[in-house]
């Protein structure tokens, strides 16, 4: 998943550097679809992370209530999985945040503001 996110990010950055504002609209539509896909992936990983963390906490509670080697192994395994999922979710979240920045840059280029076009509308709130 990380490599796919990086591949898409490289693609959009390359297009931003070379394409005309008129050609960017199609890239912007493609980028929107990809961002939605990554957001969906992020949501699924968040839910999985929360459930694995919940079961890790439940297994620790059960270990405290009924100490046993099998329960300790289960708690350790779930804690390791929770750490791995948190790390994965962290990287996925940061990647999606970078894509939001690319969305802003695409919007600016399509509107002509990033090119210093004096006829372009000023940003909202200005």
Average pLDDT of the segment spanning 27-43: 90
SS3 at position 101: helix
Residue with tokens 């979710």: 89
Identify which of 12-21, 28-37, 117-126 has the greatest average pLDDT: 28-37
pLDDT in tens, 2-13: 788 888 888 888
User: Residue 82 gets which letter from DSSP?
Assistant: H
SS3 at position 121: coil
Q: Model confidence at 126, in pLDDT bands (50, 70, 90)? A: very low
How far is the CA of 126 from the CAs of 60, 121, 122, 123, in angstroms?
Answer: 54, 10, 7, 6
pLDDT in tens, 42-61: 999 999 999 999 999 999 99
Question: Does residue 95 contact residue 9 with C-beta atoms inside 8 Å?
Answer: yes
This prediction has a pTM of 0.73
């Amino acid at each position: 998943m990380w490599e796919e996110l990086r591949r898409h990010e490289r693609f959009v950055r390359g297009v931003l550097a070379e394409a005309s504002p008129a050609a960017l609209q199609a890239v912007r539509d493609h980028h929107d679809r990809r961002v939605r896909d990554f957001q969906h992936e992020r949501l699924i990983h968040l839910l999985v992370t929360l459930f694995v963390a919940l079961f890790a906490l439940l297994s620790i509670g059960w270990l405290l209530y009924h100490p046993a080697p099998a329960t300790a192994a289960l708690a350790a395994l779930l804690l390791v999985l929770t750490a791995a999922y948190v790390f994965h979710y962290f990287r996925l979240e940061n990647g999606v945040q970078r894509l939001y920045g690319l969305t802003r840059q695409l919007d600016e280029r399509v509107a002509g503001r990033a090119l210093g076009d004096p006829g372009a509308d000023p940003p909202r709130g200005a």
